[in-house]
Structure 1
Amino acid sequence: MHRGRMEGCTTFMSDYVPYNVVKRPPRKQEEYKPKPGKIDLGTTYQRDYNAHETGPLILARPLERKHTTGGKMDTIPTYRDDYRLWKIKRREPCTTERVYQPPTEKFGNPTTFQDCYSPKELNPTQSFKPIWVAKPPDVPFDGVTSHRTDYTVHQLEPKFLRPKEKYKPSEKPFEDLTTHRSDFKGIPGQTAKSCKPGNVKVGSNARFNGLTEFQDRYQPWPVSLPEVHKTREYVPPTGKMDLNSTNHLDYIAHKISPALPIRPVEERRISDPFQGTTTTKDDFRPWRICRREMTKKEQEIEKPTGKFCDLTTFRSHYIPHQAMPAKSCKPVCAIDPNSAPFQDKTTYRTEYIPKKKTTCPASLDLPPGYVYEYTDSDGHQFFHQSTPEHSVSNSNPPPKQVAVVS
């Protein structure tokens, strides 16, 4: 092996020439110039919107109707009354059991691959790689490019800085009056009375004198504390410790030469045809495999032959005791029922006004106040209003055009 010292100088370190790098000049920012004139802040909504006066919303909730009858409901459905179960027998499977039987004759038919395949000699492929003709230059590389030779450095102008505008608070006072504060008017009424019962103390100050079975039959016995095992104090060995091992004393170093690469011998190509018969195929005979029986462990305890006595330890030693009924700690109901009738009058019942129901003009063959105009391809009949006075006199004015399905 080469025992000389390796030089730390590479081709890159010996041939590289550093160059002075100039910082790229930043791009000049254009000065902001505001547009002359005044901005029109008027929108289409502000010009074309017409405000309308709106009144409070009137509830149109109908009266509650209860559809109840005094008769008893028959809860037997049609499915339970008319359905009858059929007696269907289970179908037997139509499949037949087939037991596998291995063939007795030897399989000697050659395959298509064995009949048609013939080994061929491998010809080495011709390389189309061009021969290395280029010669490296002997002159060191000059880092001069067209960008470095033709680039001209321009002097930058000072950056334009926009002055910050000072915050000016508004001189007008803030109006905190909302629509709810200005238009809301509370409805006078009585405050609701609480139906919650008064807070009554639950429980009693008497001492509990109950005697349990555990207190009556439990007999305490003295228990001794477990012994505490004391650990022995560590006593270090006397004398000096010999740290020499058998490997350290008896090992002899040997001078070993570096291992040589062992290349495999070139394999000889066999020109004879491959025979697909082996000793396993000729001599191997498949065995008939039967299902292995389940191994059961012999019972060590003999089964009893006599009659089973169902008398348990609990039944033989249990002594019944007379149970005392537990006292109820539930407080007495101190709320007296009110004899006055319940007032079920609400604001909805007193102030609700039902509206008059009107029939739709499209449900009639000839709506009053309309004249038939035409019928489209889908079968819809269209009518138009005959006289304008009819819409003024009626409380519910009909629409200008009605479509009726014939």
Structure 2
Amino acid sequence: MTRKCICEICNCGRHHCPHLPTGFYDKTLQPCLLTEYHDKYPAYGGLKPPDSFKPKHEYLNNRAKMDGNSTFKLDYVPHEITRRPGRLQHEYRPKSGEIDHHTTYKTDYNPHKVKPVQSIRPAQTKPGKGGKVDTVPTYKDDYRLWEIPKRKPKTQPAYCPPAARFGNPSTFQDDYGPKGYALRESLKPPNAPRVSDVPFDGLTNHKISYVPHALGERYVRPQDEYKPSDKPFESLTTHRRDYRGLHGDPTKSCKPEHGKIGSDAPFDGNSEFRDRYQPWPVTLPYVHKYPDYVQPDGPMDLNSTSHLDYVGHKVKPPAPFKPASARKVHAPFQGNTTMKEDFKPWDVKKTEIFKRGEELGIPPGKFDDLTTFKANYIPHQINPTQSCKPTNAPLHSTTPFDGGTMYRIEYTPKRLEICPASYPTPPGFVYENTDARGHKFFHKMSASEENLAVPNEMHLPKEVAVVS
């Protein structure tokens, strides 16, 4: 009997063992060589790896001495360098004579003897009692009005407009004079209708070459009737068919147990602060005591400096400078102003418009209402063109539609091969054991075991019906 694994029984390449070790303490395990690459790609002998073209990293000694010549040293030709001639500066020669230290400020601004400025601030006086107050301010006492004579208006001579016409022609009027216009000859062809004496035959290439063909009736394909399947639905998915879960122990929690931490002895109330830091005697700070308020004897004098020194005066309210609104002037209003007297309006005539002379004269007769179209148009009889469009009729043919395609002619139904590893138990094999790496091994059934075998759960048809 030959033992085979699921990896070896599968012929579709989608079924394989998990290849995960389940025996953690088994140290005698050999490496698993059941792979698709190991089976399909055998090792070849007598082949050497390709040689590398990379230079070897070796130290090269006993070489010639380096000359130290570079491209710059070999190609560069030194030239004689001469110093650039500098600019010659003239020798400084001082001028003869003495230097005049006079400036414009000294010549124009002569010094003057200036007396110290007297203070304008009035002497400080103390307010007297019972005296009369001088109501004349400093402005009226120091600044007097000057008698300024009234300025006479300046008389101007009367303006006399010139009697002659303004005769300054412009540059445009001097250089560009009026010129006559010459009519250009029209190169436009005459708008005359071209009439042909040959009648129109109405023949086209389509009418001459087109041959109508008779169309038969259209073949209508009958619709196939729906036939439901007699076999029940298995509700088998890829996950149910391929997935095989391994039974294992549930995971254990790594969380420590919640136990009580501490002692049941009562707390005595002592701490490090209470043991090391003892209370010190502290004296109270000094507080200054203010003497008690004693109310003075006698009545209170409510007279102030303003009440004693201020003397009231009878002052009239100032008269307003605004003129009374009821004042009316019955004299007539003089509307003469300096603008009206000095600037008189000129008698200016309107400039004439430069008009071009009419080239075409207006006929004196009555308009006869005859246009060029009415005079030259000749009516022609219109023959409607015949439509060359084919009639919108359905195309029918009496020959039946064969419906033959390349797929129907050349396709032959093939038998659907099912991978034996997709069954829960491969047909023709009996489960033997599972090794430490997770490989399930099966051996072929003998004649006695075939009679006792139970058919698998999967039932697939041997052939598949193809419907186009």
What TM-score results when the alignment is normalised by the length of structure 2? 0.17
Higher Rg? 2
With a CA cutoff of 8 Å and minimum separation of 6, indicate the structure with the bigger relative contact order: 2
Q: What TM-score, normalized by structure 1, do the two folds share? A: 0.19
